[in-house]
Structure 1
């Protein structure tokens, strides 16, 4: 793909009135699909990723150079050279590579992806970025105990929707090794973790409870970004939220939306909003003790 031409086309589409922009985007996306099942995209921070426009996340990265832009800004703003970033649910590596560019050669990124198929895509994207030498990829599921977990495909059009929750009604795709986070991280990584991003499609509550039990092993400056989905288990999320607050964390809502219209109209991150109670709908949250 010719990147300057691609940027010009997307920029033109985003300036159109919204109804026309939707139609133009879908037509252009169809043209790209006809040209091939995969394209090498360039993100807004300069990383390159192989993207298939049939997949939701990869389609947005391909066209807009960004995924979850407000979450991306939180990650970028909270990392500096020398930091350690832990990406739980790394998918094809977008957040991993963003963090890699921020922490530099003196920092490191632990990129954890449970799905063997998606891990292969992650590994390939790391290989095409020379700057990713500070990334340690791990093919495992994070859990509150060692063992094996079944992984289910919920939506073929979004590989990021793969989950260990059978209740979401997916198709069994693999059985994967599961480990607590402290058995994945090295002692040095644990002592220097600045930010953990966790997006594991509803499996977060037991991981967070276990992490709180091990909290003394982590730096007091460690923050956590998590996709909270209370629809799966409202009581568990209420319990986790209360435990996080009792441990000294405040919670901040990060604006996010997956609709095409939001990406077409997005221009700048929204101000984070502090929340005092567990949201009742899906919400990306930043937990911090700072």
Structure 2
């Protein structure tokens, strides 16, 4: 009797990506992952084939997102690679914003990166609304401007500035071009690919009075500097519209290196009447197909913040922020 072969997962059955993987196969596989209904095999194909191939054999081109927008991507970078591969970045956050922003609203996008959420917000708030896209990196600020022009976003004001709790000069370091959005002021001991200095200003000083008063969503993704951004925003939290909601990517380890803590941030938000919710923050490529198909709404969070977390703060008191 022949010995039984051990059970193999789908991932085991797929060969690893190699430089010889044809561009035709990449194009066909990407088309399947992006466009065919359902999620059968999409996770393993994306994780085993497409993600490593697009990272190591970068494509630079304009691609369609899953909403009415186009982005010029360089697939060396994680965010741009996922936009190219899946047509979406952070599907849970994308879906939540789609349900939150309405015509005439204002979105404040702090840490706009290449402008994915800026352009999404522009589409959602319409010509009667506005988006303020704030990005510290001069290179990414130029990309935001590029995508504003590419998508005809006449309702966006782009600002090249850092945000903090006071006026100061900050030094940003980029460790790797594989995640170009990870420019951070957090102390870094390893080799750096690049660095730049930028003046920082409290968020209320960067916004016009009308923008501050009409802000429906303030989204903050600043790679560890979120404590300073919230401290700078705290004096005006009570003056914002009652239904304002604030999304903050919280990174405890990075915050600690700057002398900050998630507990202080959460306490500030509680003092101003906000309840804490949490969205899934999963960046493995195999997690994207099911997340795109069935995005998860924010759920009430009462525990400690021990790892990187996508938090939402709302004055709505519920178990699910639907």
Length-normalised TM-score, structure 2: 0.81
Answer whether contact 1:241 1:278 (CA < 8 A) is retained.
no
Q: C-alpha offsets along residues 158-177 of structure 1, whole Å, 9 cap, x if unaligned?
A: 11111112247563511112
Q: C-alpha offsets along residues 200-220 of structure 1, whole Å, 9 cap, x if unaligned?
A: 000001211221222233222
Match for residue 297 of structure 2? 271
SS of the equivalent of 2:253 reads coil
Which residue among 20, 31, 35 is the counterpart of 1:7?
A: 31
Cα 1:60–1:21 shift into 2, 3 Å: closer
Shift of 1:81: 0.6
Cα 1:203–1:22 shift into 2, 3 Å: closer
Question: Runs of 5+ in structure 1 lacking a partner?
Answer: none
Match for residue 105 of structure 1? 127
Q: Superposed, which structure 2 residues align to 1:117-136 within 5 Å? A: 117-130=139-152, 132-136=153-157
Cα 1:169–1:236 shift into 2, 3 Å: farther
Match for residue 137 of structure 2? 115
Shift of 1:240: 1.3
Answer whether contact 1:155 1:162 (CA < 8 A) is retained.
no
Answer whether contact 1:112 1:140 (CA < 8 A) is retained.
yes
**Alignment of 1:248 onto 2:273:** yes
Shift of 1:93: 0.5
Which residue among 257, 262, 276 is the counterpart of 2:287?
A: 262
What is the CA RMSD across the aligned residues, in angstroms? 2.5
Q: Give distance in 2, aligned partners of 1:274 and 1:27.
A: 35
Match for residue 222 of structure 2? 200
Q: Give distance in 2, aligned partners of 1:233 and 1:217.
A: 26
Answer whether contact 2:46 2:285 (CA < 8 A) is retained.
no
Shift of 1:63: 1.1
- The structure having more radius of gyration, on CA atoms, is 2
Answer whether contact 2:238 2:272 (CA < 8 A) is retained.
no
More divergent stretch after superposition (132-141 vs 240-249): 240-249
Answer whether contact 1:198 1:225 (CA < 8 A) is retained.
yes
Length-normalised TM-score, structure 1: 0.90
Matched positions, count:
285
SS of the equivalent of 1:251 reads strand
Cα 1:182–1:170 shift into 2, 3 Å: farther
Question: Runs of 5+ in structure 2 lacking a partner?
Answer: 1-22, 317-322
Answer whether contact 1:152 1:170 (CA < 8 A) is retained.
no
Q: Superposed, which structure 2 residues align to 1:1-290 within 5 Å? A: 7-8=31-32, 10-11=34-35, 14-16=39-41, 18-20=43-45, 22-26=47-51, 29=54, 33=58, 37-130=59-152, 132-167=153-188, 171=192, 173-233=195-255, 236-266=261-291, 267-290=293-316
Q: Give distance in 1, aligned partners of 2:309 and 2:138.
A: 27
Answer whether contact 1:153 1:170 (CA < 8 A) is retained.
no
SS of the equivalent of 1:277 reads coil
SS of the equivalent of 1:158 reads helix
